[in-house]
A and B are shown apart, each in its own frame.
Chain A
Amino acid sequence: MSDKDVLLTMKGLRIEGRSDEQWNEIVKGVDLTLHRGEVLGLIGESGAGKSTIGLAAMGFARDGCRISGGEIHFDGIDMRNASETEKRGLRGKRIAYVAQSAAASFNPAHKLIDQYSEAPVQHGVMKKSEAEGDAKDLYGRMQLPDPDGIGYRYPHQVSGGQLQRAMTAMAMACRPDLIIFDEPTTALDVTTQIEVLSAIRDIVEQFDTAAIYITHDLAVVAQMADKIKVLLKGEEVEEADTDSMLSSPKEDYTKSLWAVRSHARPEQPPATEGTPVVSVRNVTAAYGTIDVLHDVSFDIHAKRTVAVVGESGSGKSTTARVITGLLPPRRGEILFNGEALPPNYKNRSRDQLRQAQMIYQMADTALNPKLRLRDLIGRPAQMYLGLNGKALEDRVRDLLHLIELEPDDYIDRLPSELSGGQKQRIGIARALAAEPQFIICDEVTSALDQLVAEGILKLLDKLQGEFNLAYMFITHDLATVKAIADEVVVMKEGKVVEKGGKSEMFQPPHDPYTELLLSSVPEMDPNWLTELLKARAAAGG
């Protein structure tokens, strides 16, 4: 490509964010070149500065951030020295933005089509009636159902996956030269993600629009981008075209990202003998008058990990609430070592409560921010095991050792003085402090970066061997299932669709829903999406 085709350049871009009353650099000198019609994937973990760089391409910095150095040129326009009016003239017209959560990024007070036509009308590209006609055309191209009518709905009347496509259509309204996609499918279930990915890819190709595609998911970016740039803590690690980046990453950091996907522990054969630690028996449960669980049954044995898999609304977390006694079931029962537990946790004995512990998804909300680690971890040991004084302190120190945190350093910290992964480790220590037989892990790694999540999974694995723990592992992520499970329970709409040993589950034949779920998980192969869509079209057609 010649230099004339260059659309966007950034040189030595520096951006600062304000925290603790001072400016800290969050993007530390990044260079970037994007040609017309080219798709660049920006990839990195949280704190890498990907979104910040994406927004900087529009000359935009969020409140509390400022662009402090470097150059940004968009099609010959110096974005750092352009006036606000000049930049407003570009935004929405020549550079458009697609946000992570379409549900939150559409204004709840206006109809979709009014929001679509706002940019073209205000920028003087089209009249309102033209814009509306155009919207219907684009809705059709984005494969939205009822393209003529869907625009007249309010955002809350449309599903998440459809909203995300409507938002991409809205970004296309003025036929921009560049679109910034900021994690557009992260908030979606895997089966929905496929539809959105293919729609985005088609429309970008049709209009030959350049794009910056921001994500933390390697497999997704492999489907979308021509070239990939890897970022770490505001600095570039490396950049290469997609094929060579996937096949032969140069830097260690990139290699470690790639390697995460390959972790898996050896599967233990499903336990069929002996009394299961926990047995869910024909549970039907309801919120109010609406049944959300229908006749759910499965067993969990000692030293085994049962992964409960499903998309949002499948009832996997509700099952956990029934087991813990927060939601007494309408029918059915929970057996613990063969004995029925009282349905409501308030009627369970202290020892029954001690035996089943829980680790939460959001470590931030699971730890009382006003208590020190000493008290957070010590309390269960004090309550259940009657430890006090020196004995209690020793126990807390042992537990900190177990979760690989230096006791002297950490015992008097507050949760706010920990990183996300460390907080999750404290959650684990608190569960262990009760010396339970059974632990429910509710999406414990989904809020964490891949490398950190990997560490947590390994720790849980080690502890299971050491203390003969039975795990119930709630997750929507099949990679996690592959990594840690012995047995798998697949749930959909409150029912168990399929259950069995892990190797059985990942081998055909499958239940159709399991098949859909498995095939929808993106793979690192850049041709995966194309092949999958072909295969589905063939099967469906």
Chain B
Amino acid sequence: MGFLTGLFWLAATIIVALGAGWVFRQAAIAISPKGVAKELRTAPLTASFGMLMILLYIIAAVFAPVIAPFPETQVVGSEYQVWDDVHLLGTDNLGRDMLSRLIYAARNTVGIAFVTTALAFILGSVLGLLAATVGGWLDQVLSRAVDVLMAIPALIFALLLLTIIGTSIINMILVIALIDSTRVFRLARAVAMNIVVMDYVEAAKLRGEGLWRLITREILPNAMAPLVAEFGLRFCFVFLTISALSFLGLGIQPPTADWGSMVKDNATLISFGDITPLLPAGAIALLTVSVNFVVDWQLHRASGLKE
């Protein structure tokens, strides 16, 4: 019986999600200019749903103080209150309002993940494009260095570095940005390598074009599509790593609201059959799923696979 009702709710959720995606897609097509609308038409329902969710997260992050009923860190009730009219999702292990913290965490967790990804991306793609274009010893040195850094598993390396320099938000951003930039470097270099061997790049070199122009005019525009998709994927990885670190108590530190540590702090409730601690975890999952759906659509389009 339990299994069947579970299945029913799962199916219902999927249908509602896809329906919301469909409505959102129609609305977006209606208000977008022609070129964008044509692109949007190719979006599958999963990707439409993803775009809708990303939009909602951005709204939550930007307008957190307006939306949240209570302040982020203030104790407003007793510990572990159940869901009621005042505290819609109850209170946490210290008596802070769960819903408000969930909303504020969108700002903290997503913001930090975004900054980290951007850092990793700038570092990794600049070096990757340079290595591929210049080649020679620069490429050798950078590639070997990245090989070695990548020979240590990411989470373990992050833990090691955090032990040494201590856990703080800035340290975590720097450490994860450094580690993830190696992955971006690999991809950017591989993509650029495929472009560098093209005749038009050879023609530009023979014309006497400088390095800056080679990269910005000949290589970067043609590398954009895979790089943008990689940004999405990288964001998911960074976001999951930060959440994992916070969950382990080594990432974003209290009292800042953050989904990973919220799961950790309230985990005991789960064994009592209360799903509240699953909500922040679900919030993480929903955002990464959404980004992945959109990236998947873009990758599929970029690869031109018509199958």
Contact = CB atoms under 8 A, between A and B. Distances in A.
B33 interface: no
B199 A64 contact: no
A63 B305 CA distance: 11
Interface in B36-70: 42
Interface string B195-211: 00011101111111100
Given A64-B306, A365-B198, A365-B199, A370 B207 contact: no
Interface in B175-210: 198-200, 202-209
Given A63-B307, A362-B199, A368 B218 contact: yes
A209 to B, nearest CB: 34
B206 A368 contact: no
Contacts, number: 48
A326 B207 contact: no
Interface residues of B, number: 18
B223 to A, nearest CB: 10
Contacts of A370: 221-222
B208 A350 contact: yes
Interface string A449-476: 0000000000000000000000000000
Nearest to A360: B199
B300 interface: no
B227 to A, nearest CB: 13
B40 to A, nearest CB: 13
A187 interface: no
A492 B48 CA distance: 59
Interface string A199-241: 0000000000000000000000000000000000000000000
A175 B209 CA distance: 60
Interface in B249-272: none
A327 to B, nearest CB: 12
Nearest to B201: A368
A380 interface: yes
A371 interface: yes
Contacts of B203: 358, 360, 366, 430
A324 B199 contact: no
B291 to A, nearest CB: 26
Contacts of B218: 368
B205 A345 contact: yes
A367 B206 CA distance: 14
Interface in A278-299: none
Given A63-B307, A353-B207, A353-B208, A371 B217 contact: yes
A367 B306 contact: no
B222 A368 contact: yes
B199 A353 contact: no
A365 B207 contact: no
Interface in A53-69: 63-64
Interface string A24-38: 000000000000000
B307 A353 contact: no
A353 B306 contact: no
A156 interface: no
A181 to B, nearest CB: 28
A382 to B, nearest CB: 11
B217 to A, nearest CB: 7
Contacts of B207: 353, 379-380, 383, 434
Given A368-B222, A369-B222, A326 B206 contact: yes
A18 interface: yes
A365 B204 CA distance: 12
Given A371-B217, A380-B207, A326 B202 contact: yes
A367 B208 contact: no
Nearest to B218: A368
Nearest to A375: B217
Contacts of B209: 383
Contacts of B306: 18, 63-64
B34 to A, nearest CB: 16
Given A64-B306, A366-B200, A367-B200, A383 B208 contact: yes
A365 B200 contact: yes
A460 to B, nearest CB: 18
A457 B177 CA distance: 55
Contacts of B307: 63-64
Contacts of A379: 207
Nearest to B41: A21
B205 to A, nearest CB: 7
A345 B204 CA distance: 12
Interface in A347-379: 348, 350, 353, 358, 360, 362, 365-371, 379
A353 B200 contact: no
A430 B202 CA distance: 14
Nearest to A18: B306
A345 B199 contact: no
B240 to A, nearest CB: 33
A386 to B, nearest CB: 14
20 contacts: A21-B42, A63-B307, A64-B307, A326-B202, A345-B206, A353-B206, A353-B207, A362-B199, A365-B198, A365-B200, A366-B199, A366-B203, A368-B200, A368-B222, A369-B222, A371-B217, A371-B221, A380-B207, A383-B208, A434-B207
* Cβ-closest 5 pairs across A and B: A370-B221, A366-B199, A368-B200, A360-B199, A365-B199
